[in-house]
Amino acid sequence: MTMKKMKQWTVITLVFLLMFALSACAGGNEKPAASNSGAEGNDGKQPVEETNKPTEETPEEETKINLAGREILFSAWWDGTPNAETPEGEAALQRQKEVEEKYNVKIKYVNQDYHQTAEKLSSTVMAGKPFADVVLVPDYLIAGLLAGGYFTALDDFMDVRAESKLPDAVIEAGSYHTSKTYGFNRSLALFDNTGLYYNKRIFEEAGLPSPTEVQKQGTWTWDTFIDYAKKLTLDTNGDGKQDQWGIAAAPNVLGLSLIYSNDTMAYDEKESKFLLDSPNAIEGLDMMNKLYNEFKVVKRNEGNDWEDPAKYFKEGKTAMYPGGIWEAGSRFQNQMKDEYVFVHFPKGPKADNFKVGMSQFHMSFIPKGVENPKVVYKIWEELQDWNVEESDRVWAETYFLDEDSVNSALETLTMMEFGRYNAYNFEENFNPLANDIAAGKITAATGVAQIMPVLQAKVEKFQQEAKE
């Protein structure tokens, strides 16, 4: 057995022992929480049988819940069935087997189309038969479904902080600034976080201290970033034509990176207000204008803002690329001859610390009308690998080539600030503005002044419709 498998079996054993110890303790003085959960939401359609109830003679026995062979369905926009050919999948299947035996259920996975999730969930909830017991919902659909009352709050059947394993950050994110928690995940999503990639070869050939070095020294700021971008934008073969640039980026990605790194957000969730007209945000967009039009250090895209920047970086034409952690595996690993390294996006003049602005967070929900929701939640919880710190590190080590990149990626989890605006189709207005600023067609202040009323009107309309 490999060291990796030994660690996973150790975690499984510890989780099993912990569950046994907790249930034994609960049986000593009062009825265990599992017994209470069996009656939650039960309208007689699906009987929940409790067997082997603890007696005075055997207080250590666990009250067992029997769902009589019921299928428990988990929905995502992929097939969530664990892959038995991987160590992670093997461990997941073992957890699934234990859960199926413990509750007398059959776990199945639904592959639901990403964009049709809202329609499928709302129609089946209204019909009284939710299509799945736990649904992973795309971020941009969550606000509308939440406002429509299609989700069951975890607080309706348990004390979330006391009875669940959810981290406080997830509980807070899943509340959406209400008094209850609706969404849940085992952790914040590492792969959704962002930073800056750089080409190691280009920096070494230029004889410049790497961004990793200056980040450690505490001088990884806009000033250093601009200085590097200027020095690394040049004609490398002497033919009189520029063939290497400091930066490759989509204008909207670069613009938001500069806004967040200057200690502000594009959208304030708590206040339901866009912040693009704040001084810090305007300063960030002004800097984007300078990078394109004054310093001329950004390679302009040739028609595809999504594909072109990553393509230029992979081809070794650009030194730096702002992007998501997920791109290491999907876009760069084994796809470029040069070594890529990951650091934080440099700090702006108004920032004391690095910041990762998080505009989305896909979360799982229990649809309204699901029977025995507390049991369903506990089944979900017991299927998870709660050794999150180790699994995040394993994931990062899989896609990053050096320890410094791994550590930078993991550090982003402590830098996140949520500003989820996807329900308002933010990109419809911001992306054209970012393109116009990059093209030198408009100033940041003028462009923001034009779109701010439109953006805020979207928020107000959405909230008004949600009340009706």
Interval 109-143: pLDDT, tens: 999 999 999 999 999 999 999 999 999 999 999 99
Q: Which helix (H) or strand (E) holds 70?
A: strand 70-76
- What does the alpha-carbon distance between residue 185 and residue 29 come to, in Å, rounded to a whole number? 31
State the pLDDT confidence band at 465, using cuts at 50, 70 and 90.
Answer: confident
**Quick check: is 403 in a domain?**
no
- What does the alpha-carbon distance between residue 63 and residue 34 come to, in Å, rounded to a whole number? 7
- What does the alpha-carbon distance between residue 75 and residue 228 come to, in Å, rounded to a whole number? 46
Do 200 and 177 fall within a single domain?
no
pLDDT number for residue 366: 98
**Quick check: is 401 in a domain?**
no
Do 307 and 455 fall within a single domain?
yes
Tokens of 457: 């009107």
Phi, psi dihedrals of residue 433, rounded to the nearest 5°: -65, -45
- What does the alpha-carbon distance between residue 300 and residue 312 come to, in Å, rounded to a whole number? 10
- What does the alpha-carbon distance between residue 35 and residue 218 come to, in Å, rounded to a whole number? 54
> What is the value of pTM for the model shown?
0.83
DSSP annotation of 362: -
**Quick check: is 379 in a domain?**
yes
Do 349 and 379 fall within a single domain?
no
**Quick check: is 14 in a domain?**
yes
Do 268 and 280 fall within a single domain?
yes
15-24, 317-326, 342-351, 400-409, range with the lowest pLDDT: 15-24
Q: Which helix (H) or strand (E) holds 368?
A: none
Mean pLDDT of 49-59: 39
Mean pLDDT of 91-100: 97
Do 383 and 272 fall within a single domain?
no
Mean pLDDT of 340-366: 97
Is a pLDDT exceeding 90 seen at residue 431? yes
Do 383 and 457 fall within a single domain?
no
Task: Render pLDDT for 369-379 as a digit per residue (tens, 0 to 9).
Answer: 999 999 999 99
Do 170 and 80 fall within a single domain?
yes
Do 168 and 259 fall within a single domain?
no
Q: Is the CB of residue 373 less than 8 Å from the CB of residue 41?
A: yes
Task: Render pLDDT for 214-258 as a digit per residue (tens, 0 to 9).
Answer: 999 999 999 999 999 999 999 988 898 999 999 999 999 999 999
State the pLDDT confidence band at 267, using cuts at 50, 70 and 90.
Answer: very high
State the pLDDT confidence band at 463, using cuts at 50, 70 and 90.
Answer: confident
**Quick check: is 402 in a domain?**
no
pLDDT number for residue 466: 74
pLDDT number for residue 61: 37
Chain Cα centroid distance, residue 38: 32
State the pLDDT confidence band at 41, using cuts at 50, 70 and 90.
Answer: very low
State the pLDDT confidence band at 43, using cuts at 50, 70 and 90.
Answer: very low
pLDDT number for residue 15: 34
Mean pLDDT of 162-184: 97
Is a pLDDT exceeding 50 seen at residue 322? yes
Tell me, what CATH number does 71's domain have?
Answer: 3.40.190.10
Mean pLDDT of 195-212: 98
pLDDT number for residue 335: 95
**Quick check: is 352 in a domain?**
yes
pLDDT number for residue 374: 97
Tokens of 252: 């909207």
Is a pLDDT exceeding 70 seen at residue 315? yes
Is a pLDDT exceeding 60 seen at residue 446? yes
Do 453 and 379 fall within a single domain?
no
**Quick check: is 404 in a domain?**
no
CA distances from 191 to 27, 303, 362, 364, 428 (A): 40, 27, 12, 17, 24
State the pLDDT confidence band at 468, using cuts at 50, 70 and 90.
Answer: low
13-17, 179-183, 310-314, 456-460, range with the lowest pLDDT: 13-17
Mean pLDDT value across the chain: 88
User: Based on the structure, what is the number of domains in the chain?
Assistant: 2
Sheet holding 134-137, edge to edge: 105-111, 70-76, 134-137, 363-365
pLDDT number for residue 410: 98
pLDDT number for residue 331: 96
**Quick check: is 28 in a domain?**
yes
Mean pLDDT of 56-69: 65
pLDDT number for residue 39: 32
Domain holding 370, by residue range, is: 3-189+362-396
Region of 260 (left: φ > 0; alpha: ψ -120 to 50; beta: rest) is: alpha
β partners of residue 221: 347
- What does the alpha-carbon distance between residue 82 and residue 98 come to, in Å, rounded to a whole number? 14
Is a pLDDT exceeding 90 seen at residue 367? yes
Please report, rounded to a whole number, the percentage of residues in the chain having pLDDT higher than 70: 86
Do 257 and 379 fall within a single domain?
no
Do 198 and 135 fall within a single domain?
no
Do 350 and 325 fall within a single domain?
yes
